[in-house]
Amino acid sequence: MYNTAKLKLKEGKQIVGGTVSSSDPEIYNAMANAGFDFLWIEMQHSPLTHHEVARMIWAGKGTPAIPFVRVPDSTEGDIQKAVDNGALGIIIPMVETVEKARAGVKFAKYPPIGKRSQGGGQYGALWGNDYRRTANDNIMVVAMIESPDGVAIADQIAAVPGVDVVFVASTDLGSFSGYKQGEPQYESLVTKIHDVTLKAGLKLGGPMAWKNRPGYTFFQGPGETSLIRSGAQAALGMTAAPGTRSGVAPTEGEEHRKPETPKKP
């Protein structure tokens, strides 16, 4: 098992993924070494191409964060390319039918679970020569529920074999339902997804702001622009980075190094 994000979920821990929409490998590496458990590579709402994503994932080889891809749709072409490029997580947007969730599993997994084709790709160089034997155990499928239509069949989505996480898309759920977070009608939709997902034994996902909501263990974290903004604000406020000493200028190039694990006393 080389999908460390999946391992943490199995251990009952929470995991957080930073959102990446830029094709810059340096930005990808900075995010991959920042402490996130996985990276949410955004292909639904960005101009990223599969070629660019392949370069990003390759540039991040050996970094701690596991690559997940939110594909534009649950199609064979998009999912096949994403897993061939080395993604260990497939995030399916706008799941409003059981067939869409099943397609996510079908094209992400090799037989006998799915019908993924044994084509080429960089997956072997990333995850080892026994990848084809181990891929099904490591690849995760995340089904996003974003509308009342999806909520209405949430129990059926959670019952699809091979789906690992059901994700509550908080913003779009409000957009499509017309209700705001905190309103009883909105919260009743969220509660239904919560209850049927946990009852099915799956993991429940949502925005990072919901980390303190009971039952949630899979979170989408902020994107690069938000992190740059908050980082700049911290720098301008003279907030010292962890491990630095007050009044001591940082060494150029240190920001590209992987943070060291603190030694136990």
Region 119-129: mean pLDDT is 94
What average pLDDT does the chain have? 92
Residue type, 101: A
Residue 241 lies in a domain: no
Range of the domain at 58: 4-226
Looking at residue 169, which CATH number applies to its domain?
3.20.20.60
Establish if 248 belongs to a structural domain. no
pLDDT in tens, 5-53: 999 999 999 999 999 999 999 999 999 999 999 999 999 999 999 999 9
109 by Cβ neighbours in 10 Å (0-12 / 13-18 / 19+) ranks as buried
CB 98 within 8 A of CB 156: yes
Instruction: Read off the pLDDT of residues 231-250 as tens digits, 9 standing for 90 and up.
Output: 998 889 855 555 555 555 55
Decide if 109 is inside a domain. yes
Is residue 50 part of the annotated active site? The answer reads: no
Residue 163 pLDDT greater than 70, yes or no: yes
Q: Residue 259: inside a domain, yes or no?
A: no
**205, 219 in Cβ contact below 8 A?**
yes
**Active-site choice (45, 51, 194, 256):** 45
Q: Is 98 domain-assigned?
A: yes
How many structural domains are present in the chain? Answer: 1
- Is residue 215 in some structural domain? yes
CA separation for the pair 222, 119 (Å, rounded): 33
What are phi and psi for residue 246, nearest 5 degrees? -60, 130
Instruction: Enter the pTM of the model.
Output: 0.89
**How many Å apart are CA 39 and CA 195, to the nearest integer?**
27
Which tens digit of pLDDT belongs to each residue from 247-264?
555 555 555 555 555 555
Buried residues in 25-64 as b, exposed as e (16+ CB within 10 A): bebbbbbbbbebbbbbbbbbebebebebbbbbbbebeebb
